[in-house]
Structures are given as C-alpha cells and as structure tokens.
Amino acid sequence: MEQQAGSLGERVKLDIGGHRFTTSRTTLCARESMLATMFSGRHQIATDEDGYTFIDRDGRNFHHILNFLRTGEIMLPETEAARRELLAEADFYQFTALLEI
C-alpha cells in the first residue's frame, strides 16, 4: 500500500526497525533531512496494512532524533557507544544540524 503525504499536521506512523513511533509531518519536516524529503508531500510513501512506514534501521535511538526535531535540542545518550550509534543515525537521516552538535 502507498499513500501520498497529506497535510503538515497529519499524523505519521513510523516503524523503525520494529520500534513504532507516531509523530506529525510538521515534526518530520522541521529540519532539513532525509525524513523531511520523504514526508514533504512530493513522494509516495509505502505503508503496511496498519499504516506504518517501515525504515530498516535500529530504532533504539530514534526517540533522540524525534526529540531533536520537536525541540531543536539533543539529549545525548550517556554511553560513548550509544553516542556513536546516534551519530550514525544522524548521518543516515542526513541531519546536518545534528551532526554539527
């Protein structure tokens, strides 16, 4: 199933490597990134039968990405390994602003 991205306030359901998140298009498009491009409304977005868009990444740190989009601030994980994982995710999603922090 595919759907065209709708209004900015529309809820978006994401399945990031088995971790499920719900947010808005406004949040996903808040900063320049791959997510903003995906959900800009210019592309068809594949969803599963429950309406989730699957992204084949480890979802353990994705809440940091969402919080960054929501607030513009980042709460870095406590361990160095988790910080490296978050950096890899920021690179994958093309968050230049987050990479600079």
- pLDDT score for 2: 44
Alpha carbons within 13 A on the beta-carbon side of 21: 22
Q: Are strands 44-46 and 2-4 parallel, antiparallel or unpaired?
A: antiparallel
Buried b (16+ CB within 10 A) or exposed e, 19-54: eebebbbebbbbbebebbebbeeeeeeebeeeebbe
Output the pLDDT for position 4: 47
- Looking at the structure of the chain, the number of domains it has is 1
Is residue 52 in some structural domain?
A: yes
Please indicate, yes or no, if residue 1 is contained in any of the structural domains.
no
Block residue for tokens 């791959």? 34
In this structure, is residue 5 part of a structural domain?
Answer: no
What mean pLDDT do residues 10-15 have? 95
Q: Is residue 41 part of a domain?
A: yes
Domain that holds residue 83: 11-98
Crossing angle of helices 80-92 and 62-71, in 10° steps, is 70
Q: What is the pLDDT of residues 13-42, one digit of tens each?
A: 999 999 999 999 999 999 999 999 999 989
Q: pLDDT value at position 100?
A: 79
The reported pLDDT for the residue numbered 3 is 47
Average pLDDT over residues 42-64: 94
Mean pLDDT of all residues in 71-86: 90
